Chain A
């Protein structure tokens, strides 16, 4: 398969056909990974650079592992957050990476649109690994893969995404992907953490978590950044946990076989209770991590092929 564009900047712009094909390819990589084999020929001789302007151990590691399992030369660049507030640095970095003939550039940045800006300036295929409040496409893809493996399909499922929707790139990418694939998406949170106009993208908004979770097939809790409290968007962590923390009592109104998901890292006792997070019959949080590697292998594979087709 090939993608319509040479970068993966977001779920926006992906056709459901592309999404399904990426998920199918990732399935094959799940099997490969579980067999303990690798396919180092896929990206042999190619250079993947992990360019992280924001700290992230798990996403960076996941991309690193994905690249290495496919035979790429992987380089990690963490740029300290203090030196990147200037945009010149971003474009200067792009120029430097261009000179190094990098093939695949994985970017995380605190500003929405930063990977799109880089994509205009570099020859490499750019993969958005999370930009500000905008998108985190590989997270949505790995969530979709996790759901599809457990439920057999995405179509017709009711998915409740809970917590800080306003500042969440995970919520946006998931909303775009899941609605495109025929799921019914609910967003659940206090009004101060629900972005305006979100209903126009097919989400149903709930402020009462029990109503939002009723008969849901999937319950996704989002990380709540502590800055939201200092910004005065919610008064305290305990108030948030009482009304929007995912615990067994609130989960009880969802379907009996509803799955619990979280993009990690978790704030236990803030947006999710440990009892729920660690319940092996409900929580697929660890499986999400495994799917992350497979999805990123699929994305790297496809973008490398797309680049060849463009060359």
Chain B
């Protein structure tokens, strides 16, 4: 479908492959879209494009295990093409895409269509989530077998929690038969209904209906118990509270099939970011207390959290230019994923390899994706970035369409110079 990209020699990069721990300055040769070789002093084949990396970091193309792309159904917010632009600008080459679109990804044909739409861009692998329930309506479980065969990587109702315990039990039991994981938005719905912020002094001062932070831990506790009952695998999305992370840590210690991810807002921002009714900082789950933010940082450092995801939720200005309680929750996260995660490295909370691992091989392994590694013979999905080059995140100036970043105005470090998808230069 696409022409074979030219061969490329990336010279003098700090090549970091978190999967193997490889971290050394060297060259990397891409031939026919595949990593042909890497190491010290590679020769330049005839006709190969040469990139002088100047000791910038060359890592696997980022694997984003959780994003909504707006397509199909919400193209006014984002399309796959504009999302690809934003993703590539942050070094992302693979995205697991949530199923709660219109229509929901509850049919094998839709799984194939989404994956095909990703491939058609030539810039992005789309690994679709399948709907956990038909239409993501929370009633009947979906066709996990057929969806899995079509390529669905896991099952979820997206931004919606699988609420009734009986339904979750069935979903976990049935998914187990196909070796599939259920991805939960951990929030007890009856405590979250109508809420716009985490309950507490901040929400009270602003006159906003609050969601108690324990709504997350309650769902996590229940689902851990259901995983034990059924032998199923649960992955908790965008975990944001210390209490929930403690439960997950304990379940992992007991050897249960429990994993989780978080997103940059939950380790970089706290609830004070919603001050002055900033609707771009209205997220689901809502931003938490500083103590919870620190607990998320600690869980990144000790390995409890298995992946850092963009949790990209594109929103249009009309979705956000509303009184806070009426505004749609969700933040644009693709373009800022790498830079805000690197802030954890700069602050000393996380080593570089550990941080990159959370963005590459760990989510890839968890979701069974053939991506996130630098190795001979694998597709040349690569990201070359200058880790200390500063820039400022500004809503309105981000690549792609969605501009609803909760990090508006935040200075960060880490600029992606080039991104390659299967050897094709897609950014830079």
Contacts and interface: CB of A to CB of B under 8 A. Distances in A.
Interface string B115-127: 0000000000000
A229 interface: no
Nearest to A167: B207
Interface string A80-120: 00000101101100000000000000000101111011000
Contacts of A116: 276-277
Interface string B197-234: 00111111111111010000000000000000000000
Nearest to B204: A195
A134 B206 CA distance: 5
A22 B31 CA distance: 75
A133 B209 CA distance: 9
B277 A117 contact: yes
B321 A114 contact: no
B207 A117 contact: no
Interface in A105-161: 109, 111-114, 116-117, 131-135
Contacts of B199: 196-197
B322 interface: yes
A169 interface: yes
Which of B201, B204, B206 has its CB near the most chain A CB atoms (within 10 A)?
B204
Contact of A90 (B207, B322, B324): B322
Contacts of B209: 133
Contact of B207 (A85, A91, A135, A201): A135
Contacts of A74: none
Which of B210, B277, B324 has its CB near the most chain A CB atoms (within 10 A)?
B277
A223 B319 CA distance: 33
B326 A87 contact: yes
B325 interface: yes
A112 B326 CA distance: 9
A113 B323 contact: yes
A169 B207 contact: yes
A201 B209 CA distance: 17
Given A87-B323, A132-B323, A197-B200, A113 B210 contact: no
Contacts of B324: 111-113
B318 interface: yes
Which of A112, A114, A169 has its CB near the most chain B CB atoms (within 10 A)?
A112
Nearest to A199: B201
Contact of B322 (A12, A117, A196, A200): A117
Given A88-B318, A132-B323, A201 B208 contact: no
Chain B: number of interface residues, binned into ranges:
20 to 34
Given A87-B318, A113-B277, A201-B201, A196 B326 contact: no
B318 A196 contact: no
Contact of A112 (B201, B277, B318): B277
Given A113-B277, A116-B276, A134 B201 contact: no
Interface in B110-155: none
Contacts of A198: 201, 204
Contact of B205 (A87, A111, A201): A201
B126 to A, nearest CB: 32
B336 to A, nearest CB: 23
A285 to B, nearest CB: 24
B207 A109 contact: no
Contacts of B205: 12, 172, 197, 201
A201 B208 CA distance: 16
A133 B277 contact: no
Contacts of B201: 196-198, 200-201
A57 B205 CA distance: 26
Contact of B321 (A117, A133, A169, A197): A117
B5 to A, nearest CB: 45
Interface string B31-59: 00000000000000000000000000000
A112 B206 contact: yes
B200 A111 contact: no
Interface string B256-283: 0000000000000000000011000000
A131 B324 CA distance: 11
A43 to B, nearest CB: 29
A132 B325 CA distance: 10
Contacts of B322: 87, 90, 111, 117
Given A132-B325, A133-B207, A172-B205, 10 more contacts: A87-B326, A87-B327, A111-B324, A112-B277, A131-B207, A132-B207, A134-B208, A197-B201, A197-B205, A201-B205
Which A-B residue pairs are the 3 nearest by beta carbons? A134-B207, A197-B201, A111-B323
23 contacts: A87-B318, A87-B321, A87-B322, A87-B327, A90-B322, A91-B321, A111-B322, A111-B323, A111-B325, A112-B277, A113-B277, A114-B323, A116-B277, A117-B323, A131-B323, A133-B207, A133-B208, A134-B208, A195-B210, A196-B199, A197-B202, A201-B201, A201-B204
Interface of A: 12, 85, 87-88, 90-91, 109, 111-114, 116-117, 131-135, 169, 172, 195-198, 200-201
